[in-house]
Amino acid sequence: MSRNFPPTIPAIVQQHVDEAAALRNVRAYLVRAPHIKLKDLGRLDERIAAHLDGIAVSGPLGMHLCKVALERPARGEVFAAAVRYIESGFDEGLVNLMALAEALPETWPGLHSAFGWASAASLREIVSALLHRNSVMAQLTGLAACAMHRVNPGIALESALVSRCSVLSNRALRCAGEVGRCDLLRQCLKRLQSDDDECRFFAAKASLLLGDRQVALDAMVDVAQTPGPMRALATTLAMIAAEPDATRLLLDRVSSPPGDERLTLRAIAHAGDTQNIPKLIELMSDTKLARLAGEAFSFITGADFIALQLDRPRHLAVRAVAGDSLGEDADYEDEGLPWPDAEKVSAWWNRNARRFSPARRYFVGAPPSWEHCLRVLQDGYQRQRVVAAHYLCLLRPGTIVFNCAAPAWRQLRGLNRLIGG
């Protein structure tokens, strides 16, 4: 097909395909990164959009090269192809791509992120068709699309909640909490009795967001105390959902048995208790925990280490970590975090401690009020923004969870509506 075009054109379009796939994968990391703000995400999204536009305007050639890229299917390649199929309408190509993804579950995030990227207008008919297909993969993708756009799937959500397929019913639990379906709270609470750890986590999360602070919180604490892939997320949610005067006891519970200092630091960060500040400053001298301790300090106080120059010079930080293996989890989680200078941080705290009351909970420098959480959504770092979005739901149960992973321009529109409202 490329023989109908000047030789340079296929090469240019191929570059668009390659870059769209690669940048999608970069984005998947950055939406969870500790050093990224909405404006940074916006710059990346403009680049992704430009490459996707380049594929679109090339017509059949762009579609052909997306299909060729699927000969080695990965998340980025599935994303680029899915965006093109979605923009072209619900056709056999999209059905075939979904079948490919079903056979390769590791590519699901790429497929679903394409539905999160596409405009609501281009998805309306496609998602309706998916939700009504007699296919778990189709219904799963339809639910994911609704959840990412924070659109109520209606009766399709209720049907998915009682599905015998755990993957589908768990996604329905997530969706119920994300879109604020308070009418489904009772059904979510029933799922807390499940033998499946993942189901219990999503049921507890949905129930917390929809207004239950008793049974759901107890269930979330249980997950936070149980080793497994959901433990870190459960710890965050349990700490921010608990009443401030209960967080000290809860901190002891989720940190038991001792040994996982990184989990303990997460719990401290989200407890928001300034009485833990001296411990955090002390841990900033520990190479393996310094950056995470610094992030916890910022979660409580709002201090921006870079802006306030509370970080160590890069050459000293590199020298400190040289030859010291931090472990895969630490390397991944801490990437992008500044290396705190414990002496500078201690001096800053001595000057500013009087602004903080030991009897109150703090989140990025202030008690987590509605107005403050909106400011964090506007100006905070991604990890802070995600927590702010959940605080809004805890403050007003049934609030739709703000999607901090949506395209930046959609987030800005959503923020304008929230602030204007």
293 and 339 housed in the same domain: yes
256 and 356 housed in the same domain: yes
Last residue of a domain, one of 92, 126, 160: 126
Q: For residue 206, what is the domain's CATH number?
A: 1.25.10
Domain coverage including residue 157: 150-241
Q: Which of 28-32, 90-94, 115-119, 170-174 has the lowest mean pLDDT?
A: 90-94
For 188-200, the DSSP string reads: HHHGGG-S-HHHH
- What number of other Cβ atoms are within 10 A of residue 96's Cβ? 14
115: left (phi over 0), alpha (psi -120 to 50) or beta: alpha
Which whole number is the average pLDDT over 224-231? 92
Residues in the chain: 421
pLDDT at 224 over 70: yes
In a domain, residue 144? The reply is no
Average pLDDT of the chain? 93
pLDDT at 80 over 50: yes
213 and 193 housed in the same domain: yes
Give buried/exposed letters for 103-126 (b at 16+ CB in 10 A, else e). Answer: eeeebbbbbbbbbbbbeeeebeeb
CA distances from 352 to 293, 298, 357 (A): 18, 13, 11
pLDDT at 335 over 80: yes
With contact defined as beta carbons under 8 Å apart, do 299 and 271 qualify?
Answer: no
pLDDT of 90 reads: 64
Segment 106-140, tens digit of pLDDT: 999 999 999 999 999 999 999 999 999 999 999 99
pTM as predicted: 0.94
pLDDT of 5 reads: 56
Segment 338-392, tens digit of pLDDT: 999 999 999 999 999 999 999 899 999 999 999 999 999 999 999 999 999 999 9
313 and 337 housed in the same domain: yes
In a domain, residue 416? The reply is yes
The total of structural domains in the chain comes to 3
With contact defined as beta carbons under 8 Å apart, do 309 and 298 qualify?
Answer: no
pLDDT of 1 reads: 43
Q: CA–CA separation, 247 vs 317, rounded Å?
A: 33
